Amino acid sequence: MVASKEPSVLLSHLHRADGSATFSQNGYTVIGAVNGPIEVPRRHELPEEAVIEVLVRPAAGVGGTRERHLESILHSTLRQIILVHNFPRHLIQVTLQITNTPENKNTGSKVVQAGSHLAILPALLQTAVLALLSASMPLATILTSVSIAIHADGKSRKLITHPSLKEFESASSVHIMAFTSHGEPLVVESQGTFTLEDWEEVFETVKALCHAEHNRIDDNAMQGVDGKGNMLEFVKSAMGEKVAQDLHWHT
């Protein structure tokens, strides 16, 4: 089964959480729930800003070192976009439950492959942001995230946006980047073998995909760039639809 590269989202569907979102893309599905600002245990309390707790739960089994690594990336990222100084001595809890991962062809081996644990990072980041938006958490900016795989064999070089797990694993290098809505790079995770020129090309491609610069969208010379793939547009339209739904009684 080929997973859809088009993102889809379900907003505010968990009734007990302050905010929630279920995001699917590329065969990954993540449920995100945000609670906060709530009381924080005394020993974790920060006097000048809110404590952010990120919990990543895998689809099967209990979390291990891989999840801790993802949590630490998410934590440092979310701390930059949530206005933490607005909620001193509070806790903002972000729980991300992975419910679906793409099928792995290498049966009989480990459930999650080394290195490819990064493939889920865009889905986790996107879910966290959508859940935070659903919780009406004051944010400095929102972020959008895209993964790109470079397949290079000596001469030719191919950039694949939103690669499937197979493409991700066989790529010569993989890049996961997240940009703020102002077009600033917030997260970069690049792995494999590449040159600075490759990286800069990926940087510009992802920037165009994440950030709605209208002149870029028309430029078809850059591969994979069109209005459809723009993640910021997706978040905006998803939120817009949700607000319209919530206000249907108004008209």
Partner 1 sequence: MAAWVERKQSLVYGSDDWLPRKLVLVRAGGTCPAPFQRPTKKQKASVAATASSSTRALNFTLHITSHHGIKSQSPSPMASTTPQSALSFPRETFAKLSPHPYLRAHLQPTSATATPTRANGRSPSQFRTPHINNGSLTHADGSAVVRIGDTTVVCGIRGEILLTSKVPGWRADKAAAEPSSGAGYNEIKELDLLVPNIELATGCSPAFMPVIPPSTLAQDLSTKIYSLLHSTNLLDREDLRIWYQPPDLSDPDRMDDDSEDDEETSASEIKAFWALYIDILFISLDGNPFDAAWAAVMSALKNVRLPKAYWDPDREMILCDDSVDKSKKLSLNGLPVAITALVFKAKEQAQSKDKKYWILVDPDTFEESLCDESVTVVVDCSEKKTRILSITKSGGTIVGREEMKDIVKLAEQRSTELSSILNG
Question: Contacting partner 1 (CB under 8 A), which of 15, 62, 109, 250?
Answer: 109
Residue type, 206: V
Question: Contacting partner 1 (CB under 8 A), which of 3, 27, 71, 230?
Answer: 71
The residue behind tokens 């064999």 is 153
Residue 111 interacting with partner 1 (CB under 8 A)? no
Q: Which residues between 80 and 99 bind partner 1 (CB under 8 A)?
A: 80, 83-85, 88
- The residue (of 10 and 55) whose beta carbon lies closer to partner 1 is 55
Residue 103 interacting with partner 1 (CB under 8 A)? no
Residue 39 interacting with partner 1 (CB under 8 A)? no
CA distance 167 to 187: 21
Residue 189 interacting with partner 1 (CB under 8 A)? yes
Question: Contacting partner 1 (CB under 8 A), which of 170, 223, 237, 245?
Answer: 170
What's the per-residue H, E or C state across 101-153?
Answer: CCCCCCCCCCCCCCCHHHHHHHHHHHHHHHHHHHCCCCECCCEEEEEEEEEEE
Site string for partner 1, 198-227 (x = CB under 8 A): -xx--x------------------------
- The residue (of 92 and 118) whose beta carbon lies closer to partner 1 is 118
- The residue (of 114 and 221) whose beta carbon lies closer to partner 1 is 114
Q: Are strands 91-100 and 51-57 parallel, antiparallel or unpaired?
A: parallel
CA distance 8 to 65: 29
C-beta atoms surrounding 185 within 10 Å: 14
- The residue (of 73 and 133) whose beta carbon lies closer to partner 1 is 73
Residue 61 interacting with partner 1 (CB under 8 A)? no
The continuous run of DSSP H or E covering 248 comes out as: none
Residue 140 interacting with partner 1 (CB under 8 A)? yes
Minimum separation from the CB atom of position 128 to partner 1 (A): 13
Task: Go through 187-212 and write b for each residue having 16 or more CB atoms within 10 A of its CB, e for each that does not.
Answer: beebeeebeeebbebbbebbbbbbbb
Residue 236 interacting with partner 1 (CB under 8 A)? no
Rg over CA atoms, the chain: 18
Calculate the CA 221 to chain-centre distance.
26
Minimum separation from the CB atom of position 242 to partner 1 (A): 25
Cα–Cα nearest to 149, from 26, 1, 19, 6: 26
Residue 62 interacting with partner 1 (CB under 8 A)? no
Residues that bind partner 1 in the complex, under the rule CB under 8 A: 42, 47-49, 64-66, 68-69, 71-73, 76-77, 79-80, 83-85, 88, 106, 108-110, 113-115, 117-118, 140, 166, 169-170, 180, 182, 184-196, 199-200, 203
